[in-house]
Chain A
Amino acid sequence: DVKVTQSSRYLVKRTGEKVFLECVQDMDHENMFWYRQDPGLGLRLIYFSYDVKMKEKGDIPEGYSVSREKKERFSLILESASTNQTSMYLCASRLSDGYSNQPQHFGDGTRLSIL
């Protein structure tokens, strides 16, 4: 089974702090994704990475950056946290084998509160 592990289930930070959310997958997947989930808005794509050191902006990249130095790890960085970044953050990974039916596999999520 694919295992996607997010470093924290719950996190509380202060406004202005630099925040790191870590995600690790154990299945050698090329593609990795970061979403945020807010009530009534569904999941929105922040950034994704199609391979090591490769990244592409999603729908809502403002205020975020990402890092992918190793294939198994994809980090989301809040450069200067703000209260409107309080949300549930979900990481996902996907095998890139040329078959479009490969699903994304998700971690358990990180509930981040910015005070």
Chain B
Amino acid sequence: AQKITQTQPGMFVQEKEAVTLDCTYDTSDPSYGLFWYKQPSSGEMIFLIYQGSYDQQNATEGRYSLNFQKARKSANLVISASQLGDSAMYFCAMREVTNSGYALNFGKGTSLLVTP
């Protein structure tokens, strides 16, 4: 069963505007973590931000912030003041704890296009 859902296949935003990329998740584990990654057209996956299930505050990293609503099981990424270089695929992922380590379960991604 899919555990991470990104409902927006594609999004457009104008330069300097803010944009929210949606992510909902499903888990019965009280301890979990949520990661966001950016993948430009060149292919590399770039780590952006992390939110732990026990973190009291929403995570922020520069222009990136997480709108974490635990009861709704959502962890939306907010990018403020969009730049042309933000055009990329964005993936939400949830950490799963297995017997032998941590694996990530990824959503299908959202393609973001920033226009001038």
Contact = CB atoms under 8 A, between A and B. Distances in A.
Contact of A88 (B43, B95, B105, B108): B43
A104 B47 contact: yes
B interface secondary structure, majority: strand
B107 A42 contact: yes
A108 B44 contact: yes
Interface residues of B, number: 28
Contacts of B42: 108
Interface in A19-60: 30-31, 33, 35, 40-45, 48, 50, 54, 56, 58
Nearest to A110: B43
B56 interface: no
A113 B94 CA distance: 29
B107 A48 contact: no
A14 B20 CA distance: 43
B56 to A, nearest CB: 14
A84 interface: no
Contacts of A105: 47
A56 B98 contact: yes
B101 A42 contact: no
A35 B97 CA distance: 17
Contacts of A44: 106
B33 A100 contact: yes
A106 interface: yes
A100 B44 contact: no
Given A88-B43, A90-B45, A104 B104 contact: yes
A69 to B, nearest CB: 18
B100 A100 contact: no
A43 B4 CA distance: 11
A102 B105 CA distance: 15
Interface of B: 31, 33, 35, 37, 42-47, 50, 52, 91, 93, 95, 97-109
19 contacts: A31-B102, A33-B104, A42-B107, A42-B108, A43-B91, A44-B106, A45-B104, A48-B103, A50-B101, A56-B100, A58-B103, A96-B102, A100-B102, A102-B102, A103-B35, A103-B47, A104-B47, A105-B47, A108-B42
